[in-house]
A = this chain, B = another copy of it.
Amino acid sequence: MNRIPGRMPTTPPTLADVAERAGVSRQTVSNAVNNPDLLRADTLMRVQEAISELGYLPNRAARNLRTRSSHLIGLRIQPVQEGTANATMDRFVHSLVETSREAGYHVLLFSGDVGDPLAGYDDLLRSTAVDAFVVTDTYLGNPQATWLDSRRAPFVAFGRPWDNPGATHAWVDVDGAAGCRLATDHLLDKGHERIAWIGWRKDSFIGEDRRSGWHGAMHARGLPTTGLASRVEDTVASGRSAAGVLLDEARPTAFVCASDTLAMGVLHTLHERGLRAGDDVAVVGFDDSQVAQVVRPGLSSVRQPLEEVAVEVVSALEGLLGHPRVAHRGVLLTPTLEVRDSSGPDRR
């Protein structure tokens, strides 16, 4: 509605221009924008008219300088992993951008060395370029948290402080164990009893958490797990060979995997052996990637509620940056299960 037709003037109108046009002082215009209830109704109206006539919008730089805040949120992104099915970032980034916008923030992307988890944060912080960070790459501990804490930098982590349960910063995470329990129960309900696990190496906190979901679900029904688990790297090839070994040695009728990438490896092995995914051996992955959605047969997969994660993250940020500051404890969200053909039919 406020869009101005025609050419942009050489220099955008300033608050002073609006003040002059409306016949009031600068402060009054500022109040009209930031504290409308301080003005008398008729004055407010007059100022607002001038604002929309000129197409005025506060200059960001000036406002940032004065208020010492940029309304920008820093998010570090890492290279796409080719050859895997990992795709949480894309979905999360979009949700975050959308939710941030509603809260009046924009997202500033920066890139980081894969080696140095702190690279990039420092400069943005010291140059007061962002108000806060969203830290996502916490798969192997979270040195960023400690460091950002020591710099008194506001931030919210997507991922629990695995390596430091006493940490007091705000975080949001998805309950991977619950997701894998969901997947495993789903298969158990279909009548499977020998359900194998293919997950990540032991140094991955997330991997062990997801594994515990499978493990817990099996034990809750008094079923054995010995020899049914494998821990490998997160690649299709690893999933493929792990599935081969498990099929030979443990004869599982179903697989639960820590990622869609690994699940794709399982599908490969099944096909090589002439086994039908779903009908002969059931498979469930994790992340509900595009791959899971378009592959044949459709890959059942645990889906993280990234939209909700973004909402919680932004709400935590608002608490951190608002006045007064509202402490935000950790939030744990529950994923859902997308059932597709790789789950197979009921076996009972």
On A, residues with C-beta under 8 Å from B are 2-3, 6-8, 10, 12, 55-62, 64-65, 68, 70, 72, 77-80, 82-87, 89-91, 93-94, 97-98, 101, 106-111, 118, 122-123, 125-129, 150-153, 236, 261, 264, 267-268, 271, 289-291, 293-296
B150 contacts A6, CB within 8 Å?
A: yes
List 10 contacting pairs A-B, 8 Å CB cutoff, sorted by A. A6-B150, A57-B127, A61-B62, A62-B65, A80-B94, A85-B291, A87-B90, A97-B110, A268-B296, A291-B294
Copies in the complex: 2
A267-B97 Cα distance, complex, nearest whole Å: 35
By a CB distance below 8 angstroms, the chain B residues around A118 are: 3
By a CB distance below 8 angstroms, the chain B residues around A264 are: 294-296
A87-B271 Cα distance, complex, nearest whole Å: 26
Among all A-B residue pairs, the 7 with the closest Cβ atoms = A61-B64, A61-B65, A8-B151, A57-B126, A57-B127, A107-B109, A60-B129
A94 contacts B65, CB within 8 Å?
A: no
Among A78, A90, A126, A150, which residue has the most Cβ atoms of chain B within 10 A?
A: A126
A267-B261 Cα distance, complex, nearest whole Å: 19
A106 and B129 contact, Cβ closer than 8 Å, known pairs A8-B153, A65-B65? yes
Which of B60, B97, B126 is within 8 Å of A70, CB to CB?
B60
The minimal Cβ–Cβ distance linking A51 to chain B, given in whole angstroms, is: 11
A55 contacts B126, CB within 8 Å?
A: yes
B128 contacts A59, CB within 8 Å?
A: yes
B106 contacts A106, CB within 8 Å?
A: no
The minimal Cβ–Cβ distance linking A107 to chain B, given in whole angstroms, is: 4
A212-B129 Cα distance, complex, nearest whole Å: 47
The minimal Cβ–Cβ distance linking A253 to chain B, given in whole angstroms, is: 21
By a CB distance below 8 angstroms, the chain B residues around A55 are: 126
Known: A61-B65, A101-B110, A106-B110. 9 other contacts (CB 8 A): A12-B128, A59-B127, A60-B128, A61-B62, A61-B64, A72-B108, A80-B90, A107-B110, A290-B290
Among A56, A106, A109, which residue has the most Cβ atoms of chain B within 10 A?
A: A109
By a CB distance below 8 angstroms, the chain B residues around A83 are: 290, 293-294
By a CB distance below 8 angstroms, the chain B residues around A2 are: 122
